[in-house]
């Protein structure tokens, strides 16, 4: 699957225009004429783009960035390569939001797709796809052979669906790239804007979400799940992962291969889940965590710390299973 952007991108902009948006703590006027072509994550940024660093959890990625410049705070600048221009600001997320809005002015809200067409009017474009009643399809949608799209579903512009997929009834797909043999059950909403806000006294500020949802081959997603698109990077579901009903997956979450996730589990943003992870029902996983391979998380647990490979945890806050059992015996 091609990694496309669903939002129109503006630019390039002279560095002076970027500086107007972010109010750096030191003068960088000597670079004002340098052209900046975009804002990207630490890993994906090119030499003519800028990036950001807001936590020492991303030291490894920051040392490898190729970005021309990085929006960060003074105490994190030491984790960046010498050649990367450090843009020290008082509020990193506020500055990143302002720059993202400059490049993607329409990405902080989910506007309705006004180019939808009834599938009956364009069924000749998809001769080997079966549609239920009242299915609406946007422009430049790709659907592979032998796929099924259920009644009252909406597939918005540029979405890609592979072959042999089953999309249930009343499903909404936007900003999504879906591989072959994926089963998405009734009522799912995939590719919607994430819950990204900066609380400020005057008015909460929306963070633009310009990423996609990428779903790999063989994934099953239960009824009424919600999966937010990424902010700058993608939200990602790995091969052969099975997700139960009413699961929420926030922006930038990455779930590995062959995972099993029971009903009503919630993932906060930017958490990374390894391969072959099992999570019991109604567990909650906080944001920006790393959960290793072969981890088992008991139902109803609250995960607030990283978990290494091959661990079993339970409780709130989640602790190793042996410790949880000891606590229960007291």
Any idea which residues carry the catalytic annotation? 251
CB of 197 closer than 8 Å to CB of 205: yes
Place of tokens 């995960």: 303
Place of tokens 């993608």: 234
The angle at the Cα of 42, spanning 252 to 92, to the nearest 5 degrees, equals: 80
Residue 271: both structure tokens together: 């958490």
Q: How far is CA 44 from CA 12, 48, 260, 322, in A?
A: 17, 11, 29, 40
CB of 151 closer than 8 Å to CB of 132: yes
Residue 176: both structure tokens together: 């999504």
3-state class (DSSP) for residue 321: helix
100 φψ region: left (φ > 0), alpha (ψ -120 to 50), beta (else): alpha
Residue 99 host element (H or E): helix 92-103
Non-local CB neighbours of 203 within 8 Å, separated by 6+ positions: none
Place of tokens 């009956």: 120
CB of 171 closer than 8 Å to CB of 187: yes
């Amino acid at each position: 699957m091609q990694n496309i952007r669903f939002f129109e991108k503006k630019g390039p902009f002279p560095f002076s225009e970027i500086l107007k948006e972010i109010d750096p703590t030191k003068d960088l006027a000597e670079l004002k004429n340098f052209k900046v072509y975009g804002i990207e994550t630490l890993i994906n940024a090119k030499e003519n783009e800028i990036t950001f660093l807001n936590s020492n959890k991303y030291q490894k990625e920051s040392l490898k960035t190729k970005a021309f410049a990085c929006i960060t705070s003074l105490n994190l600048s030491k984790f960046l390569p010498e050649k990367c221009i450090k843009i020290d600001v008082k509020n990193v997320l506020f500055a990143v939001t302002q720059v993202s809005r400059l490049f993607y002015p329409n990405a902080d809200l989910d506007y309705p797709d006004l180019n939808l067409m009834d599938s009956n009017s364009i069924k000749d474009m998809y001769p080997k796809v079966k549609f239920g009643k009242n299915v609406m399809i946007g422009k430049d949608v790709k659907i592979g052979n032998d796929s099924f799209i259920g009644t009252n579903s909406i597939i918005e512009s540029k979405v890609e669906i592979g072959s042999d997929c089953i999309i249930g009834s009343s499903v909404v797909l936007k900003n999504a790239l879906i591989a072959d043999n994926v089963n998405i059950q009734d009522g799912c909403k995939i590719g919607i804007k994430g819950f990204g806000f900066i609380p400020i006294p005057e008015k909460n500020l929306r963070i633009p979400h310009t990423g996609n949802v990428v779903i790999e081959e063989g994934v099953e997603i239960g009824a009424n799940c919600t999966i937010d698109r990424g902010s700058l990077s993608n939200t990602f579901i790995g091969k052969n992962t099975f997700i139960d009903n009413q699961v929420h997956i926030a922006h930038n979450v990455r779930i590995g291969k062959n995972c099993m996730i029971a009903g009503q589990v919630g993932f906060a943003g930017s958490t990374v889940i390894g391969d072959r992870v099992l999570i019991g029902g109604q567990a909650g996983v906080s944001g920006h965590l790393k959960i290793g391979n072969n981890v088992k998380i008991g139902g109803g647990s609250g995960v607030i710390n990283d978990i290494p490979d091959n661990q079993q945890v339970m409780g709130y806050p989640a602790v190793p299973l042996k410790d949880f059992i000891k606590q229960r015996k007291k």
